[in-house]
Amino acid sequence: MSLELAGVAGILALLVLLALRMPVGIAMMAVGTAGIALLANERAALATLANEAIAITTKTELLVIPLFILMGNLATASGLSRNLYDAAYAWVGARRGGLASATVLGCAGFSALCGSSVASAVTVGRVALPEMRRHGYNPGLATGTVAAGGTLGILIPPSAGFVVYAILTEQSIGQLFIAGILPGLLLTGLFVLTVWLLVSRDPSLGPPGPRLPRAERMAALAGAGPILFVMVGTIGGIYAGMFTPMEAAAVGAVLTLLIALARRGLTAPAAREVLTETARTTAMIYVILVGAHVFGPFLARTGLPGALSDWMIGLGLGPYGTLALILLVLIVLGCFLEGFAMLVLTLPILFPTVVALGFDPIWFGVVMVIVLEMGLITPPVGVNVFVVKSIAPDVPLARMFRGVLPFWGAMMVCVLLLVAFPQIATVLPQTMFGR
């Protein structure tokens, strides 16, 4: 068997293990270790496994992950995330489709705290779905809005997806965070526009909610003020060069804790749950990173990434034709693979091609994360749709997937805009201090 065929066999074995529901990190460790043992020897395989595990778990840059996860969990447990939705609800809820738009804005705001799509969908969905149900919203629009809005969690910084991408490609976490700001705002705007277009065509989909007095709207905005200050302060501090991403995460976690304590919104049982969930999510991401760093050397030994890169470039499609092929592959894989699994599986193969074609790696990171978002609402996997199903069990899955389809189209428009105008993702990182 040639080395390239050994690489293909390794990828097929990994896909089989993932289909059998083995955790992606463990699956990549198993295939990578076995592959290196077969291509070299057991000593090299075990040395790679041990060295990579130590290197990942002692990498100080990765402390940004548990700190930002802690910040989001604190905001959820103490009810601070509800303030974000209430503020959006107060200002746009009275319009036709306003509750759905408020849901998108609430998801965008919460995404700037937690960096998780699933957490965003669950947290905002538990608040927004009962409100939309009470006001007679179409179930497809209501659940589709929550599922799609939740995907903003891995685009709007801080984003666990950007951290994983940065570690796997040796890019700047800070630059990736800043690069996600304008595309995140753009996609949020496209989601709101999608809601408006849907309810303009059929007003019965999203009836207007009650119009609150100005005093109540200002009070709702003031209630969200402290957590908005944390969001702007942490990401703005990275952009201004005041903080490294790790320092910003620490500042954000401490400020969120102080706000929660000042409002007496954090009970002892909630605090235990916050710490447990933070540890659980952090461990999952670390295991995925260790697995990726074991699987990567195995693929490198086979020469498969370089061979595939040469093959794609040799097709003669040109830079943008090859990029279109890459995006098509990612969209198809998104139908079957969970986001992190797709990220760690495809990056070692696709990233050399992207760099060889002359594309900005920071820009490609943003585009890839949006494509991962598309996979979160694409059948048959559609993780976010199944998450929303757990909090809206009476809505059929088929209706939910129909509900997210217009938002999937909005994501595609966002990708096309980023390809046509890459400055949307690159202008802020190029002007930030302390690059």
Can you give the pLDDT at residue 433? 61
| 323 inside domain | yes
**Nearest alpha carbon to residue 186 among 424, 360, 375, 405:** 424
Q: Residue 102's CB: how many other CB atoms inside 10 A? A: 32
**Nearest alpha carbon to residue 259 among 69, 79, 106, 86:** 79
Stated as kind and residue range, the H or E segment containing 360 is none
Read off the DSSP letter of residue 378: S
pTM confidence score: 0.90
* CB-CB contact of 369 with 161 (8 Å): yes
Can you give the pLDDT at residue 305? 85
**Positions of E strands within 168-281:** none
The H-assigned helical ranges of 20-63 are 24-39, 42-57
| 252 inside domain | yes
**CA 76 vs CA 122, 266, 273, 355: distances in Å:** 10, 10, 11, 39
| 87 inside domain | yes
Check residue 215 and give left, alpha or beta (phi > 0: left; psi -120 to 50: alpha): alpha
Domains held by the chain: number: 1
Q: Which domain holds residue 76?
A: 3-430
Check residue 390 and give left, alpha or beta (phi > 0: left; psi -120 to 50: alpha): alpha
| 88 inside domain | yes
Can you give the pLDDT at residue 326? 93
CA–CA separation, 101 vs 62, rounded Å? 34
CA–CA separation, 287 vs 290, rounded Å? 5
pLDDT values of the chain reduced to their tens digit, one per residue, 435 residues: 688 889 899 999 998 998 888 888 999 999 999 999 999 899 999 999 999 999 988 888 888 989 988 998 898 888 777 888 889 989 998 888 999 999 999 999 888 877 778 888 888 888 899 989 988 999 999 999 999 999 998 899 888 889 989 998 989 999 999 999 999 999 999 999 999 999 999 999 999 888 889 899 999 999 889 888 998 899 999 998 888 899 999 999 999 999 989 888 788 898 999 999 999 989 988 998 899 899 989 988 998 888 888 888 888 899 999 999 999 999 988 888 877 888 888 898 899 899 999 999 999 999 999 999 899 899 887 889 998 999 999 999 999 999 999 999 999 999 999 999 999 999 999 987 655
| 319 inside domain | yes
| 435 inside domain | no
Total residue count of the chain as it appears in this document: 435
